[in-house]
Structure 1
Amino acid sequence: MLSIDSYDLLKEYHRGWVGEYLDTGGNNRDDKWTKSIAVGSKGFVEEMRFLLGAMAKGRKCLKAEEGCQLRDPSSPYKAHFDIKNEDIGANNTYYWDINDEYSIR
Structure 2
Amino acid sequence: MPRANRHFLPGHVWHITHRCHKREFLLKFARDRRLWRYWLYEARKRYGLCVLNYIVTSNHIHLLVRDQGRGEIAPAMQLIAGRIGQAFNQRKGRKGAFWEDRYHATAVETGEHLTRCLVYIDLNMVRAGVVAHPSEWELSGYREIQSPPDRYRTIDQQALLEVLEIRTAEELRRSHRQWVEEALRSGRVGRDELWTEALAVGSLSYVKRVHDALGVGARKRAIEVVDDRACVREAPPDYTADYGPKIGVLRR
Larger RCO (alpha carbons 8 Å, 6+ apart): 2
Provide the TM-score with structure 2 as the length reference: 0.23
More strand by share: 2
Provide the TM-score with structure 1 as the length reference: 0.46
- Based on CA coordinates, which of the two structures has the bigger radius of gyration? 1
